Amino acid sequence: MLNNGKGKLFSPAEPWRKERKLRTHNLNIDFNKLYEDQTEERERVLKEILGELSEGIRIQGPVTFHYGIHTRIGKGTFINFNFTCQDDAEVTIGEYCNFGPNCTIVTPCHPMLADERKALRLPDGSTAGLCWAEPVHIGDRCWFGANVVVCPGVTIGDNCVIGAGSVVTRSIPANSFAAGVPCRVIRELGEGDSLRNRPDILGDCEIID
């Protein structure tokens, strides 16, 4: 971060940022070259990317993490093909979440005006292209359909279902089914959504009480 005591702006070109991103981008390539059944090797690379690895995480790949070290993923979470996480700010994903193919989480923000995107003046008088980032927090047991985009600053509560193709620009309360562009809450999830009401799907299986 800029060491000016206030504000959120930073330069993506700061040396430590460039070094960490390059390391993580190379590790992404290492992970994506591995076969699905090379589980031990995949876990080793993921631990290098994320810094720590919770129990039972499964990531199908290919993946793209930006920093990696800013992301925490809870145990039992499954992430399908082509997951992108641009974690300039903190990203937390809860336990037992499921992500469909082509999901993206982004945290960086840029000025709306083109001249301000090009460069801003720093406290020392120099100029640089600057941005800022807002954290993303996802609760436990959430399901994301294919092609969902989660935007900067969003919090999604526990037990949510986010419909395929949604662009989540605002926070979503727990126990919600939400969908659309921009994503909005369709309804609260409840007993009406139970497979007990769909014997054609449930068949001879049983709900665990």
Averaged pLDDT, 187-194: 96
The pLDDT tens digits for 26-81 are 999 999 999 999 999 999 999 999 988 999 999 999 999 999 999 999 999 999 99
- The pTM of the full predicted model, rounded to 2 decimals, is 0.94
In sequence order, the 6+-apart residues with CB closer than 8 A to the CB of 174 are: 139, 157, 158, 159, 160
Domain 15-187: state its class. Answer: mainly beta
Catalytic residue selected from 25, 66, 70, 110 = 110
Q: Is 137 a catalytic residue?
A: no
Whether residue 2 is predicted with pLDDT greater than 60 in this model: the reply is: no
Whether residue 5 is predicted with pLDDT greater than 80 in this model: the reply is: no
Domain ranges of the chain: 15-187
The pLDDT tens digits for 96-145 are 999 999 999 999 999 999 999 999 999 999 999 999 999 999 999 999 99
